[in-house]
Chains A and B, each alone.
Chain A
Amino acid sequence: MSFWASLLPQGTRWTTISSVLQATLVAGQWLNARYTRFAGLQFYQQPVGAITVFTGESPDVVCHELGHAVLDALRPELFNAGLPETAAFHESFGDMSSILTALQVPSIRTKVLAETQGRLNSSSRLSRMAEQLGWGIRQSRPTAVDVDCLRNAANRHYYQAPTSYWPGHALRSFGRANFFAVWMDFCLEDANG
Chain B
Amino acid sequence: MGDNARAAVDEGQARDQKASSVTDDLSAAIEAMKRATHTLVTATGGAQLLAPADEEQGTCAGGSSPAANADSEHLYRSLEETGQLVDVGWSSDLTTLPPDVTHVRLPDGTVKRIGFTAAY
Contacts and interface: CB of A to CB of B under 8 A. Distances in A.
B115 interface: yes
B49 interface: yes
B117 A34 contact: yes
Interface in A126-185: 130, 133, 137, 144-145, 150, 162-163, 166-169
Given A15-B51, A44-B99, A77-B57, A162 B118 contact: no
Interface in A55-105: 55, 61, 64-65, 68, 72, 76-87, 90-91, 94
Contacts, number: 126
Contacts of B72: 82-83
A187 interface: no
Interface stretch (A35-43, A106-114, A117-125): A35-43
A47 interface: no
Interface stretch (B8-16, B19-27, B29-37, B106-114): B106-114
Q: Which of A17, A144, A169 has the most CB of B within 10 A?
A: A17
Nearest to A87: B75
A162 B76 CA distance: 13
A85 to B, nearest CB: 8
B18 interface: no
Nearest to B74: A163
A32 B120 contact: yes
A166 B74 contact: yes
B62 to A, nearest CB: 8
Contact of B119 (A32, A68, A90): A32
B interface residue count range (under 10 / 10 to 19 / 20 to 34 / 35 or more): 35 or more
Contacts of A150: 118-119
A95 to B, nearest CB: 10
Given A65-B118, A137-B119, A30 B57 contact: no
B3 interface: no
B44 interface: no
Contact of A82 (B63, B100, B115): B63
Contact of B48 (A38, A78, A91, A162): A38
Nearest to A91: B116
A28 B51 contact: no
B58 interface: yes
A38 B116 contact: no
A12 B49 CA distance: 21
Interface string A5-18: 00000000001110
B75 A84 contact: yes
B57 A80 contact: yes
Given A17-B52, A65-B118, A78-B60, 5 more contacts: A34-B102, A42-B99, A81-B57, A82-B63, A94-B116
Interface of A: 15-17, 27-28, 30-39, 42, 44, 55, 61, 64-65, 68, 72, 76-87, 90-91, 94, 130, 133, 137, 144-145, 150, 162-163, 166-169
